[in-house]
Amino acid sequence: MFESRIIDTPPRRRPWARTLEQRFAQVPMADQVRQVLLRYVGTRAAVLRPRSVESLVNDLLPFAEYLTDRHPNVT
């Protein structure tokens, strides 16, 4: 509603909502991989809707787990 200019105040982030950095920090992966994925999500977030960003993150986190488990030398 804020983005549609129906109300003047932006939505407040729920206290239990985690930032992208917090979500990526909980998954074991190489720091370089984490930085690249966070940068990628941040770039895509500029043109995607919040739910699409959420979907992207939900796809990337298992991929990062897979890389870490199966190919730990990938940085």
pLDDT in tens, 28-61: 999 999 999 999 999 999 999 999 999 999 999 9
- Would you say 28 and 65 are in contact if contact means Cβ atoms under 8 Å apart? yes
Give the residue among 33, 40, 70 at the shortest CA–CA distance from 56: 40
- Would you say 30 and 75 are in contact if contact means Cβ atoms under 8 Å apart? yes
pLDDT band at 15 (very low <50, low <70, confident <90, very high): low
Distance between CA atoms of residues 47 and 12, nearest Å: 21
Specify the pLDDT at position 16: 58
Specify the pLDDT at position 13: 58
What average pLDDT does this structure show over 4-21?
A: 73
Specify the pLDDT at position 45: 94
Give the residue among 64, 71, 67 at the shortest CA–CA distance from 40: 64
